Amino acid sequence: MPVEIIDHTADIRVRVYSHGFPSALIELSNYMLNLIYTGPINCEKSIKSTVQFSEAERCVVKLLSDILYYTDSYNLALKVRYLKIEKNRLTWEACGEKFNILKHEMGYVIKGVAYDRIVVNTKNNLIEVTFDI
């Protein structure tokens, strides 16, 4: 199982393992999106965005925050399909559609991603992060 829930008193904390750091980021991103809503997603719209970062922890938080921005601001149900890291620049692509309450069941409202107790190990492809709900 690539995503594991870790006990937390008020928020949602998860641990992700994968065969590569970009794959771990995609797993984490899609897990976060699945916490927000469930249901099938048609690829009617495509989103592409880039974030700059100075260290691995900032990479994780900036990516997830950017995805939350597109989900919340444009009312989109998304799935991350592609992610590429070059030096201190991460480019991600997702596809999705407008959120539809008849099709997509609403889950958690994720307000943000916490830097508190974040763990990022790029050699072991491990990420632990807390979602502020």
Count Cβ atoms below 10 Å from residue 130 Cβ, excluding itself.
19
44: helix, strand or coil: coil
Tens digit of pLDDT for each residue in 12-39? 999 999 999 999 999 999 999 999 998 8
Tens digit of pLDDT for each residue in 62-112? 999 999 999 999 999 999 999 999 999 999 999 999 999 889 999 999 999
pLDDT score recorded for residue 42: 95
pLDDT above 90 (res 130):
yes
What residue type is 129 in one-letter code? V
pLDDT confidence of 8, banded at 50, 70, 90? confident
Cβ-count burial of 5 within 10 angstroms (0-12 exposed, 13-18 middle, 19+ buried)? exposed
Helix (H) or strand (E) holding 61: helix 56-74
Average pLDDT of span 7-12:
88
What CATH architecture does domain 3-132 belong to?
3-Layer(bab) Sandwich (3.55)
